[in-house]
Amino acid sequence: MLRARIVGTGSYAPEKVVTNDELAAQLAEINVETSDEWIRTRTGIAQRHFAPEGEDASDMAAAAGRSALQMAGIEAKDLDLIVVGTVTADMPMPACAAFVQHKIGATCPAFDLSAACAGSIYALKVAEQFIRGGGAKNVLVVGVELLSRILDWHDRTTCVLFGDAAGAMVLRAESGEQGVISCRLATDGALTDILKIPGGGSKHPLNQETVDRRLGYVVMNGREVYRTAVRALSETMLTTLKESGIGIDDLHWVVPHQANIRIVDTVFERLNIPKSKAVLNIEKYGNTSSASVPVTLDEGVRDGRIREGHLVGLMAIGAGMSWGSALVRW
């Protein structure tokens, strides 16, 4: 049986690092109060990366993609498909993936999908289905977000959370035990109001009114997002393991979406997974949405924690609310 094996990972973050103290000082200039202590205790975040003017989401995605291709030992021309998870593409159309394809020198079909912070898990599932169905042998999956340009800096409950980054995975069709064992997706459209960007689409198109009403920025009901995330992530990981016939104790590592350390802590407590099995970098990057899981995975692979034969769990949740989990044999 063919499996979709992750044979390369890559990541990219802009050079500019903004610490909590620096962000607090900038926000104080517009009369928004926060502090390093306030942010750390509520989120676990110490700093984040922001892209400079002139750097686009597709630039970051291409950089992460090249890094993943290099690890995989293949060239862009060998790709059969590119799938990009993002809600901050360079522009409404064409797809961010089209820019990425051109920038890395690929010629294959390329498209975006939107599942917010769960974008990389959704893209992973799509890639796996193409490979299992025989429609592709080599697929580049990218999660990328340039969130610093869609944050409401007057809302300290959201603007302190996010950062810019891109993460990538190269999946290859191979026989054997290594690869994606299971991948589950879920959506609850009744929860669309708790995390959204109201403006910029056909409902509230870009015009002076939507700009004045600040509809083009992230809006979040933090309490409801927390409750949903804890429940959904715990359930989806348990279900994925059960369907695969694998126990919690068999996991070597879990790569959770780096949204908020409180969410991660509570989910791990519910699943009875030791925190020592978590691959975490939220302190350095904040919430990078679609990029979060692949960036964190790449870090775990490159520093040697994730090794051949390891069982790795991936999980993320984003607007929709949409969430997903995957079990991978490295």
The DSSP code sequence of 247-277 is -GGG-SEEEE--S-HHHHHHHHHHHT--GGG
For the question of residue 257 being annotated catalytic, the response is yes
Region(s) of the chain under CATH 3.40.47.10:
2-177, 181-329
User: b/e map of 10-19 (b: 16 or more CB within 10 Å)?
Assistant: bbbbbeeebe
Fold of 181-329: Peroxisomal Thiolase; Chain A, domain 1 (3.40.47)
CA–CA distance, 168 with 46 (Å, rounded to integer): 24
CA–CA distance, 247 with 16 (Å, rounded to integer): 41
Q: Which residue has the tokens 């205790």?
A: 41
Q: What's the CATH code, domain 2-177?
A: 3.40.47.10
Q: What are phi and psi of 177, to 5 degrees?
A: -90, -20
pLDDT digits (tens, 9 = 90+) for 162-215: 999 999 999 999 999 999 999 999 999 999 999 999 999 999 998 999 989 999
Active-site pick, 117, 138, 159, 260: 117
Confidence class for position 39, pLDDT limits 50, 70, 90: very high
Active-site pick, 49, 159, 183, 257: 257
Q: Which of 71, 167, 77 lies closest to 124, judged by CA?
A: 167
Write down how long the chain is: 330
Confidence class for position 160, pLDDT limits 50, 70, 90: very high
Task: Taking residues 39-61, report their average pLDDT.
Answer: 97
Q: Which of 4, 40, 50, 253 lies closest to 146, judged by CA?
A: 50
